[in-house]
Structure 1
Amino acid sequence: MTRELTPTPKDAPEMAANFVAIASKQGDSRFDYSEGSIRALDELIGGFHDNGDRSENMGGTIMVAGAYLGEVMVRHRGATWIDGTKADVDDAMRFPLMMQCGTQTLVPFAKVAKRLDNGSEDDLVFYYQTLVKLTTGEMPDMTPVAPTKRSLFQRLTGRGK
Structure 2
Amino acid sequence: MSRHATDFVSRATARARLPLDYSVTSLRIVDRVVDGLRRTTDDPFAVRQALQGLGAYAGEVFVRGYGARWVDFDEETHGLFQQPVGIRSMDGRAWNPLGKVVNRFEWGAAESVHELSFLFPGRVRASPLTACAGGRVR
TM-score between the two structures when normalised by the length of structure 2: 0.79
Q: Indicate the residue corresponding to 2:34 in structure 1.
A: 45
Measure how far apart 1:137 and its partner are.
Answer: 5.8
- How many pairs are equivalent? 124
User: Which of 54, 60, 67 is 1:71 aligned to?
Assistant: 60
Mapping of 1:5-84 within 5 angstroms? 12-84=1-73
Q: What one-letter code is carried by the residue in structure 2 that aligns with 1:56? A: F
The sequence identity of aligned pairs, in percent, is 24
Partner Cα separation in structure 2 for residue 19 and residue 78 of structure 1: 21
Contact 2:83 2:98 in 1 (8 A): no
Decide which structure has greater helix share. 2
What residue is the counterpart of 1:122 in the other structure?
Answer: 111
CA distance in 2, matches of 1:74, 1:91: 23
5+ long unaligned stretches in structure 2: 126-138
**CA deviation profile, 1:46-101 (whole Å, cap 9, x unmatched):** 11113334323222112111110000000001110011136x63733353212101
Structure 1 unaligned segments of length 5 or more: list them: 1-11, 140-161
Equivalent residues of 2:78, 2:85 under 8 A apart: no
RMSD: 2.0
User: Which has more radius of gyration?
Assistant: 2
Normalised to the residue count of structure 1, the TM-score between the two structures is 0.68
- Alignment of 1:95 with 2:83, yes or no, is yes
- Confirm or deny: 8 A CA contact 1:42 1:124 kept in the other structure: yes
Cα gap change, 1:48 to 1:105, in 2 (>3 Å): same
> Contact (CA 8 Å) 2:86, 2:97: kept in 1 or not?
yes
